[in-house]
Amino acid sequence: MKKIISGLLTAALVMALFSGTAFAGNGNGNGKNKEFKDLKGHWGKQSVEKMQNLGILNGYADGSFQPDRTLTQAELAVIIERILELKGDKDDFQWIEDDDDDKDYSDIPKWAQKAVKKGIHKNYFNIKRFHSHVQVDRLTACVSIAKALELEPVTDFEMNPFKDLGMLNDEDFGYLLALYEEGYIKGYPNGTFNPYSLLSRAQMAAIIENLLDQQADEDSDDETAPAWASDSTVTATAIRATAVELKWSAATDDEGVVGYKVSYELDRVDKVKYVSERTVTISGLEADEGYTFTVEAKDAAGNWSDDGPSVEVITLEEEAADTSVPIWPSGAALTVSPSVSGVVTLVWPDAEDNEGVASYKVYQNSVLIYTMEKDANSVNVSGLSTDTEYVFKVRAFDAAGNMSTSLSKTHLTD
C-alpha cells in the first residue's frame, strides 16, 4: 500500500504542481541548467534546481522562480484530482449537473471547477470553507489528501509525534497520524509540525524531491554504498561555545552522492543532521565539552556508507551574553494580500542575526496572534471584518530573546 501511494503522490505532484493551467502564469522563462535569479542563498535552491534539471518545473519569464509564493486552495484541488485519476478514479461527472443547483461555484476559476466539484462530492472539501484564492497551510493540504486517498484516520491518540498538535480536533489529528504512519509527513527538528504554516513553491519542490527519492529507494537495484578515500577528513572550520562549523572531503559513488549526514552525541542522546552540501553548522552544543562528529554519505538509491571520517572537537568556554538584535535587510517590508472572505496573507523577508533567528512574532493591532518558526516567511490571518483598518506587525527574535524592530503595515479590508 505504501509503495502504491508513494508512486501516486510522486507522479501526481509532478504533474499538477508545475504544469498545465493549474498554475496560471508559471511561464517558461527558464529551461534546464539556467539559474533562477531569486534562489541565491535560499534553503530550497537544491530541490528546485534538481526538479528543474529533470525538466519537471520552470520559472517565470523574468528569470525568477518565486520560491516563497504560496499555493492556493484551487491549486490544491487540482493536485488531489490528478492523484485520484492516477489511482484509477475517473468519474464521468454525471452527478455534477444535479449538484450545481444548490452550490455556488462562481468564485472558482474555470480550470479548477471540475477538481473542486469532485472534492466536494467526495467530501474531502467543504463548500462552505473552500475559497479558491486562499492560500494553503500544511494542515489543510495533509487532511484533504488523506481523505481523498481514503486513508483510515488513526483513533489511538497515545502516539503523538508532534508537540504542537494539542489543539486540533480528533478528525484532523487522526488523518495527520495516518499520513505520519505511512511515512509521508514528518515534523521539524524541534518536534513540531507547524500545521498552520503556509506551503510555498519551494516547499512543494522539496516534497516532490523527497517522494522521488523514496520511490528510487524502493525501485533501485543499486546496492553499492558510497566510498571514502583513505585520506578523507572532516575539519572544524570554526569552533564556538555552543556551535561548530564543519567541512569535509567528498565521498564517491558509482551512481553519484546525493547527500551526507553528520552523527554525534549530545547529553547521551545520538543526534543526526542531514545536509546536501559538504559543510554544516551544528548548534545547540554545550560550552567547554568534547564531541566526535562522523560524516557518512548517501547515494540516490538510499545506500549509506559506514566508514566515513570523524573529527574530535572541544567547544569554547561560555561566551558573553548575546545582546545583538536581529536586523532586517535593507528595504525590507511587510506585505499584506487583498482580503478574501475575511482572510489576508502576511509575507515578510528573512531577518539576520549573529547567532541566527529563532522565531518570528506576528501582531494584529499590537496584540500577539502568532509565533512562527524561524523558517517561516508568511502566515494567514483570518476572522477579519469587512471595511475595517488593521495594523499588522512582525518582529524577529533570536534564542537570547533579543528582538528586531518591527515591520509594520496598515491594511483596510474589502
Overall fold of domain 234-314: Immunoglobulin-like (2.60.40)
Beta-sheet strand order (sheet of 257-266):
269-275, 257-266, 290-299, 310-314
Q: Which pLDDT belongs to residue 57?
A: 57
Q: Which pLDDT belongs to residue 23?
A: 37
Residue 227: DSSP 8-state:
B
Pairing type for strands 357-364 and 367-373 reads antiparallel
- Low-confidence residues of the chain, pLDDT below 70? 1-34, 51-60, 82-83, 85-103, 159, 183-184, 204, 207-221, 319-320
CB atoms within 10 A of CB 228: 20
The rounded distance, in Å, linking the Cα atoms of 77 and 269 is 42
Q: Which pLDDT belongs to residue 192?
A: 81
Buried b (16+ CB within 10 A) or exposed e, 351-367: bebebebbbbbbbbeee
According to DSSP H, which parts of 87-220 are helical? 96-100, 110-121, 138-148, 170-182, 201-219
The rounded distance, in Å, linking the Cα atoms of 263 and 208 is 26
Q: Which residue has the cell 513553491?
A: 201
Could you tell me the pTM of the whole model?
0.45
Q: Which pLDDT belongs to residue 30?
A: 44
Q: Does 234-314 match 335-412 in CATH topology?
A: yes
Average pLDDT, the chain: 79
Q: Which pLDDT belongs to residue 2?
A: 44
Would you kindly state where each structural domain of the chain is located, as residue ranges?
Answer: 2-218, 234-314, 335-412
Overall fold of domain 335-412: Immunoglobulin-like (2.60.40)
Q: Which pLDDT belongs to residue 25?
A: 32
Cell of 313: 572537537
The rounded distance, in Å, linking the Cα atoms of 126 and 138 is 17
Cell of 109: 476559476
